Amino acid sequence: MPGLAREYDFSFSSELRASHEEVWSHATHMQGVNREFFPLVRMTWPGGDGRLPSEPPLGQRLFRSWILLFGLLPIDYDDLSIAEFEPGRRFLERSVMLSQRQWVHERIVTPTETGCRLTDSVRFIPRLRPLGALQLGIFRLAFRLRHWNLRRLFSRGQEQAA
C-alpha cells in the first residue's frame, strides 16, 4: 500500500591519518567492523578469517550475521549482501535484516594528502514503521560510535555528520 514504507537516511565522514589501503583492509574485515562497534555490539560471521572476498559475488547473500548487544544478546541479524564493490575504494551493502525491510550501507574510502577520508552513508526502511524514528536515533548513535572508534584507531581527525 502506498505511503506505508518510509525511508530514513544519514551519513558520517571522518578524516583519518592512515593510508587508504590500511583503512580499506580494516573496513573489509569483520574483526575491523567489530572494533568499530565496540563495546555496543558485535557482529558474527561464519568460519574463515572474516575478510570479505576480494571479488564478492554481487547481489547474493554472503552470510547471516547475528548482531549481539554488548557482544552477548542477539538483537537482530543482517543477511549481508554486497551489491557493488570497487576494491580499495568502495562497497555498497544492500541487505535484509530482521528489523529492516531494506538496509543499504555505502562505505567510501578516499585518499587525502594526510591519509584518507572515510564516509558511511546509510538508508533503511524499517519493517515496523512506528519504530523508524527510534531506529534512526539508535543507528546514528551506533555510527557515531563507529567513527569515534575509527578516529581513535587511525589517529585523531575531524568528523562531520550530514
What tens-digit pLDDT sequence spans the chain (162 residues)? 455 679 999 999 999 999 999 999 999 999 999 999 999 999 999 987 888 888 889 999 999 999 999 999 999 999 999 999 999 999 999 999 999 999 999 999 999 999 999 999 999 999 999 999 999 999 999 999 999 999 999 975 455 555
26, part of any domain: yes
Q: Which residues pair with 17 in a beta bridge?
A: none
Residues 92 and 104: their CA atoms lie apart, in Å, by: 7
- pTM for the predicted model, two decimal places: 0.90
Residue 50 falls inside a structural domain: no
Question: In which domain, by residue range, is 157 found?
Answer: 8-45+57-104+112-119+128-161
pLDDT score for 51: 84
Q: Does residue 138 lie within any of the structural domains?
A: yes
| CATH code at position 12 | 3.30.530.20
Calpha distance 136→127 (Å, rounded): 13
Distance between CA atoms of 47 and 58, rounded to whole angstroms?
20
Of the candidates 67, 75, 63, 60, the residue with the CA atom closest to the CA atom of residue 131: 75
Give a yes or no: residue 3 inside a domain: no
The pLDDT, as a whole number, for residue 1 is 47
Residue 82 lies in a domain: yes
Interatomic CA distance for residues 89 and 99, integer angstroms: 29
Three-state DSSP class for residue 9: strand
Report the chain's terminal Cα–Cα distance, integer Å: 30
**What phi and psi values does residue 127 have, to the nearest 5 degrees?**
-70, -35
Q: Domain count for the chain, please give it.
A: 1
**In Å, how far from its chain's centre is CA 70?**
17
